Amino acid sequence: MDQLVKRLTWLFLPRIASSVLTSAYYKLRKIPPQPGTLDHARVEKYSYVLAVLGYMLYSCFNAYKSIVQAGNFYALLSVPLNFDSATLKRHVRELSRIYHPDKGGHDGVYMLVRKAGDTLSDPVKRFAYDRFGPDAADWTVKTEYEALQKGWASAVPRYIVSFATLELLNLFESSSFGSFWRFVALAVEGIVELHLTTRLNPIFKHYPFTIYEILSLVQQGLILLSIVVAQIGPILFPNAPPMGVFVRQHLEVTKTMLSRYMRLGSALDQEATQRFMSQIQPFMGQSAREEFFQAKLSQHLLDNRVKTSPEVMEAVREVEQEMIQIK
């Protein structure tokens, strides 16, 4: 639902910002362009593009800021992603002493510190937490494979909801320019998530984000990129056909070319077979000649295989270099 609200906000907020930018620009000019002129249309177009790009940068910064402010168990315990067990135990012990309720500390923070220490000290729980976020710290899994199964099972409903949301957005937007790219972004998100969650080792040992947080940034970045394409694509390329039509046209061209190549290959194969049969015709029906021909053909194929062998070619090059040095 939050994703749907963000996408619907993009339908009207950039236009409001564009109107503000256009008004400010007209105030700075002594003689603003007249409505209906080419100059006026150009100002309107680039004001809108600038507003969309500016709002995209603002949204990217907010996404980064929200993840940093939310923090993670590594930031809570002040340990890097490539910590050792001694460092983890020392930090958990020090923070537990500071936030212990008997010593005036906060009970909630103390419990969170203990939970973070238990999660990061258990290899399987840490594996699940790094890839699937805070909820994974409460999972009961015995192996990393079970953690992956549970994480992927929890991700399937999210992708179903995202797909349904994209279909719903198509009802609100009159332009189909960005429809294709929104589904491409969703597919790329799934591929990236599948790739990162199956890595056995952390990909950024000194990076401040876990894999789960990186996936959150990738997800929000792809959503923003698809929205920006849908917003400014029809303005910058008004005569471009919808991407779905473009892809279908290229698929038809590709099918036609493949069909031609297949027919050409079949014709060449038939011609080669006919020439081969005509050349061996004199040997047909005579067992001695057939055996002689088969022996010669086998020897020829064997010679060609030996000559094209990498080991033989390397040996020939070495001999040639030695002969050059002798000369």
pLDDT for 118: 92
Instruction: List Cα–Cα distances, 172 to 2, 58, 128, 166, 215, in angstroms.
Output: 16, 24, 38, 10, 28
Are 137 and 215 found together in one domain?
yes
* Segment 27-38 mean pLDDT: 72
Are 201 and 305 found together in one domain?
no
* Segment 306-312 mean pLDDT: 69
* Segment 32-43 mean pLDDT: 73
**156 domain residue, yes or no:** yes
Are 63 and 167 found together in one domain?
yes
**20 domain residue, yes or no:** yes
Of the two residues 200 and 87, the one the predictor is more confident about is: 87
257-305 per-position pLDDT tens digit: 777 778 877 777 777 777 766 766 665 555 666 676 667 767 776 777 7
Instruction: List Cα–Cα distances, 322 to 71, 313, 316, in angstroms.
Output: 66, 14, 10
Are 165 and 301 found together in one domain?
no
Last residue of a domain, one of 210, 240, 270: 240
Overall pTM > 0.85: no
Residue type, 23: S
Domain count, the chain: 3
For residue 199, the enclosing domain spans: 1-70+122-240
Are 211 and 248 found together in one domain?
no
**227 domain residue, yes or no:** yes
Are 252 and 161 found together in one domain?
no
Of the two residues 115 and 55, the one the predictor is more confident about is: 115
Of the two residues 27 and 84, the one the predictor is more confident about is: 84
88-106 per-position pLDDT tens digit: 999 999 998 888 887 777 7
Output the CA torsion sign for 101, 102, 104, 105. negative
| Whether the Cβ atoms of residue 200 and residue 176 lie closer than 8 Å to each other | no
Are 326 and 183 found together in one domain?
no
**315 domain residue, yes or no:** yes
Are 227 and 321 found together in one domain?
no
**233 domain residue, yes or no:** yes
Q: How confident is the model at residue 207 (pLDDT cuts 50, 70, 90)?
A: low
